[in-house]
Structure 1
Amino acid sequence: MKKFNILFIVLATLALSGCSAITGIFKAGVFVGILAVVVVVGVIIWLLSMFFGGGK
């Protein structure tokens, strides 16, 4: 029974640290996604201003 408890504690520790890593990856992904959307919207606005703004 003692081996089972130690095994359970080790597995729980590994699982929880894995969840923490996944959380960090998703937070970074959200930041990169927001940054990509801002860049794409900026490029679209720039292109529209080139076509319709009468750029030099």
Structure 2
Amino acid sequence: MKKVHLLMIALIMLTLNSCSVITGIFKAGAVVGVIAVIVVILVIVWLISLFRK
């Protein structure tokens, strides 16, 4: 019976650990996405300013 409890505890620990890793990946992805959007907007504004002259 103790082996079953140890196995369940190990499984829960591995599952929670992988969830935190995935959360970190999505947070990093969100930050990169926001930075990419800002860069694209800046490039568009720069191109528009070049053609207005």
Point out the structure with max Rg over C-alpha: 1
Residue 21 of structure 2 corresponds to residue 21 of structure 1: yes
In the alignment, the residues of structure 1 paired with residue 3 and residue 21 of structure 2 have an alpha-carbon distance, to the nearest angstrom, of 27
TM-score by length of 1: 0.90
Identity of aligned residues (%): 57
In the alignment, the residues of structure 1 paired with residue 19 and residue 12 of structure 2 have an alpha-carbon distance, to the nearest angstrom, of 11
Higher relative contact order (CA 8 A, sep 6+): 1
The count of corresponding residues between Structure 1 and Structure 2 is 53
Runs of 4+ in 1 over 2 A off after TM superposition: none
| Structure with the higher helix share, 1 or 2 | 2
- Give unmatched runs, 5+ long, in structure 1: none
The Cα shift of 1:2 comes to 1.5
Once the two structures are superposed, the pairs formed by residues 3-22 of structure 1 within 5 Å of their partners are 3-22=3-22
TM-score by length of 2: 0.95
- Give unmatched runs, 5+ long, in structure 2: none
Provide the alpha-carbon RMSD of the alignment: 0.6
Per-residue displacement from partner, 1:6-33 (whole Å, max 9, x unpaired)?
Answer: 1000000000000000111111111000
